[in-house]
Amino acid sequence: MSEDLFLKIIKREIPAEIIFENDRVLAFRDINPQAPLHVLVIPKQHIRTINDITPEQDAVLGEMFRAAAQIATAEGYRDEGYRVVMNCGERAGQSVFHIHLHLLAGRDLGWPPG
């Protein structure tokens, strides 16, 4: 999958169902949802993997988590619960190399994950 696929979504070069945006963070519905709610929360700046996060980027990571909680609340899942997960590297299932929080809700989520 393209390295800069999500940058294309940020720049509106490819379509996505965007449900949250501010100057630093964007969130849109996953094209292949794994739960009734499956949203991807991304930073607008390009960060390839968790391994590449610098101290200067700490704040945007916090904003991503707060955006996830805000979206989960708006979609009605604040109290029943939801999961946020970020894959790092191919063996963990990362296929788009622009970090993204998966926000999943609306069904029982097994543990440990597959």
Secondary structure (DSSP) of 27-92: EEE-SS-SSSEEEEEEESS---SGGG--GGGHHHHHHHHHHHHHHHHHTT-TTT--EEE---SGGG
DSSP 95: -
Regarding 59 and contact with ligand AMP (CB under 6 A), the answer is no
Site for ligand AMP in 5-24 (CB under 6 A): 5, 14, 16
Q: Considering the rule CB under 6 A, would residue 30 count as an interface residue with ligand AMP?
A: yes
Binding status of residue 25 toward ligand AMP by CB under 6 A: no
Query: Contacts with ligand AMP in 32-51 (CB under 6 A)?
Result: 32, 40
Assess whether 102 carries a catalytic annotation. no
Positions marked catalytic:
100
In the complex, the residues that contact ligand AMP under the rule CB under 6 A are: 5, 14, 16, 28, 30-32, 40, 87, 93-96
